[in-house]
Chains A and B, each alone.
Chain A
Amino acid sequence: MAGSLIKIDEEIVSSAVASVTLTGIDSTYDVYMVKYNNVTPSVDARSISLRVTKSGTPDTTSNYDYAYKVLNSASSFGNGAFTNDTEWQYLVADSVGTGTSESANGILYLFNFNNASEYSFITAEVTEINSSATARGNQGGGVHTVQSSSDGVFWFDTAGGNIASGTFTLYGLKK
């Protein structure tokens, strides 16, 4: 018997790729969840960014707002706040390194993605070892400020590097 958390798409990266796309968001569910673990960039101290997809294509317009609290085990906490960016750049994996066991892990919740009359919202809970080999994690959320439906999320290194590893899984929450 199926439960209430339904796996829709999964990408497992074991050799470097330029990007990862999770697709399959439609009207079946109102809320979606993304789980990711052991995500690492190919280049040290890079952030993995996120865009929404429209009909499978990443939206590159300047319509991404996001804000987060930076929890840092080794220094004072910080804040991040951005409006009209071209992606959610630091929200989900921030300055992750290529050193041993340096990686990003987290949970995203996606709200209103399939609603063509509303913006697409995400929340993020992140825990990582960064390029300084210390624990940190951004806690916050973002919004794509366009009233249109989004059908997936696209992961990439804004600075042009690759994603070296990680498991990315998209779920729907049964309604």
Chain B
Amino acid sequence: MATNLQFLQKVTSAGLVSSFDMNNIFDKGYDQYNIYLNLIDSSTNGGYMGLRFFDSSDTIISGNEYDWAGQQLKSYGSFDNTWRATSNSQIAPIFVSTNDDNRGGGTLIRVFNADDTSSYTFITAQSSTFMDSGLDGTKTIGVHKGAEKITGVRLVSQSNTHSLSASIYGVK
């Protein structure tokens, strides 16, 4: 029997990858999904990761259809309030400043209205990672400005590669 927080599936990358695809994880009848992302390792220090959606044909949406804004919180310095864009090709940052010494990190991505063919799809994301300088975190919001069903997520590494695992839940 399905519960109100229902585990759906787990997806794990094949080692260090530049794109991490979670196909057909939505369209399960929920109006909100949670993606708990474990960052296992990175190829190099630094960088960040962005997010794109797959449409109902499982085609990646890479056009300039995303608005987003995020704050980068740092234990070692001033916060960065410059992460924002309209009509962009992705939502970012999902996390920033990872480490190549296998120190890990985590992100929670909440996705709203993915199954709804007549609504935009919204996200919130918050992360905690560690770079040589210290602890980094992000609080990010974003939206895909297209009224269509979304079926999956691609996470794109910007300047390095990452090994990741994700657990996806539906909330009803």
Residues of B near A129 (CB, < 8 A) are: 67, 120, 122, 143, 145
Pairwise interchain contact B4-A77, C-beta atoms closer than 8 A: no
Pairwise interchain contact B124-A125, C-beta atoms closer than 8 A: yes
CB-contacts of A48-86 with B (<8 A) = 69, 71-77
Q: CB of A38 within 8 A of chain B?
A: yes
Most buried by B among A38, A103, A137: A137
Pairwise interchain contact B142-A134, C-beta atoms closer than 8 A: no
Proximity bits, B138-172, A CB within 8 Å = 1, else 0: 01111101010000000000000000000000011
Stretch at the interface among B13-21, B38-46, B68-76: B68-76
Pairwise interchain contact A135-B142, C-beta atoms closer than 8 A: yes
With contact pairs A35-B32, A74-B84, A167-B31 given, residues A137 and B119 touching in the complex (Cβ less than 8 Å): no
Interface residue total, chain B, C-beta cutoff 8 A: 35
Residues of B near A76 (CB, < 8 A) are: 81
Pairwise interchain contact B71-A137, C-beta atoms closer than 8 A: no
Pairwise interchain contact A7-B4, C-beta atoms closer than 8 A: yes
Min CB–CB distance B70 → chain A (angstroms): 7
Pairwise interchain contact B141-A137, C-beta atoms closer than 8 A: yes
CB-contacts of B68-126 with A (<8 A) = 68-71, 81, 84-86, 110, 112-113, 116, 119-120, 122-124, 126
Proximity bits, A121-143, B CB within 8 Å = 1, else 0: 00001111100001111010000
Chain B residue nearest to A4 in the complex (CB): B5
Q: CB of B56 within 8 A of chain A?
A: no
User: With contacts A105-B113, A135-B67 known, what are 12 further pairs, Cβ within 8 A?
Assistant: A37-B31, A37-B112, A38-B116, A69-B71, A71-B140, A73-B142, A77-B81, A125-B126, A127-B143, A129-B143, A139-B124, A171-B4
Residues of A near B122 (CB, < 8 A) are: 37, 105, 127-129, 135
